[in-house]
Amino acid sequence: MAGIARVARSSSIFGVGRCSYSTTASAASGTGLRADHAPPFLHSGGVARDVSKDRNVQWVFLGCPGVGKGTYASRLSSLLGVPHIATGDLVREELASSGPLSQQLSEIVNQGKLVSDEIIINLLSKRLEAGDARGETGFILDGFPRTIKQAEILDGVTDIDLVVNLKLPEGVLVEKCLGRRICSQCGKNFNIANIDFKGGDGKPGISMAPLLPPSHCTSKLITRADDTEEVVKARLRIYNEQSQPLEEYYRTKGKLLEFDLPGGIPESWPRLLEALSLDDYEEKRSAVA
């Protein structure tokens, strides 16, 4: 972690340009999840360590806007005791700060475009440095890398253990983004969409009940400025052009875990834990709690 913060901070990273296990799990297909792809974990002191590296896990979450990267990365972060670092959150914090970058960022973000590598790496390295100072180790990255160049920069400074690629049909993604709401006070995410997506061509349908806020949040809900239909479609197009190639990048390295979400959190969370071989871990933690 210190390595990334240090190297990302050094300006040379921007000038140079370029600086296992193979996994497939399809919860939606009903074909069953394979256990042979399980990451090698040792659980100690409430923190999941990668046995082969003798350090805390360093994972990346990939997936289209609205797929639920934040939801599942945040749950895993609490379970494993490693920080969940979402570059989209860092960008939104910078926007809210009315600092020197905020005007420039709001134009880019509100059109659904990606901000420059230089800006995003600066925000990420500041976040990593702050975590380092607090003694954080390991991470679950969400929203970074977003391009092959960012992945190469990351590979140049640290070793990623596992890349979880969450998947949902595009129609569901648009509905989920349009239904997303955030409590302006506590920052929690909710969703008012009631999704009933019909399957076809051998693919199962997907139902997701709304994730409604408690009454004290109801009057404080806001919608992200980039969750309008036009901007969501632009973000999906940009994801397909610039971020989807990352799937092949990590597949070739034998680090990709593909996960088709079978539905909302109640159906997906246990299946994801199973795919990560963490189902036992959660039971043991719940028993101790």
Q: Which is nearer to ligand AMP, 211 or 238 (CB)?
A: 238
Nearer to ligand AMP, 49 or 224 (CB): 224
- Considering the rule CB under 6 A, would residue 125 count as an interface residue with ligand AMP? no
Pick the closest to residue 144 from 8, 259, 278 (CA basis). 8
Which residues are the active-site residues? 69, 146, 180, 224, 235
> Which CB sits closer to ligand AMP, 121 or 217?
121
ω into 145 cis (within 30 of 0): yes
Whole-number Cα distances in Å, 244 to 76, 160, 216: 23, 18, 39
Nearest residue to the partner ligand AMP, using Cβ: 88
| R_g of the chain computed on alpha carbons | 19
CB 230 → ligand AMP: shortest distance, Å? 13
Max alpha carbon distance in the chain (Å)? 52
CB of 104 to ligand AMP, least distance (A): 11
- Interface with ligand AMP includes 109 (CB under 6 A)? yes
The single residue listed with the structure tokens 């607090």 is 134
Q: Which of 146, 167, 181, 255 binds ligand AMP (CB under 6 A)?
A: 146
- Check residue 262 for interaction with ligand AMP (CB under 6 A): no
Closest CA to 62 of 141, 122, 128: 141
Show the site string, 217-246: x = touches ligand AMP by CB under 6 A, - = not: ---------x--------x-----------
Specify whether the CB–CB gap between 64 and 261 falls below 8 A.
Answer: no
Closest CA to 275 of 59, 35, 3: 35
* Residue 23 near ligand AMP by CB under 6 A: no
The stretch near ligand AMP (CB under 6 A) out of 18-26, 83-91, 161-169, 207-215 is: 83-91
CB nearer to ligand AMP: give 123 or 256: 123
CA within 13 Å, CB half, 49: 10
- Beta-carbon contacts of 225 under 8 Å, excluding residues fewer than 6 positions away, are 106, 109, 110, 231
Binder to ligand AMP among 38, 47, 101, 115 (CB under 6 A)? 115
> Least distance to ligand AMP from the beta carbon of 125, Å?
13
The Cα–Cα gap between 24 and 239 comes to 21
Note whether 275 binds ligand AMP by CB under 6 A: no
Residue selected from 33, 114, 162, 206 as contacting ligand AMP according to rule CB under 6 A: 114
The DSSP call for residue 240 is: I
Cβ–Cβ < 8 Å for 213, 221: yes
Binding site for ligand AMP (CB under 6 A): 65, 87-88, 91, 108-109, 112-115, 120, 143-144, 146, 150, 226, 235
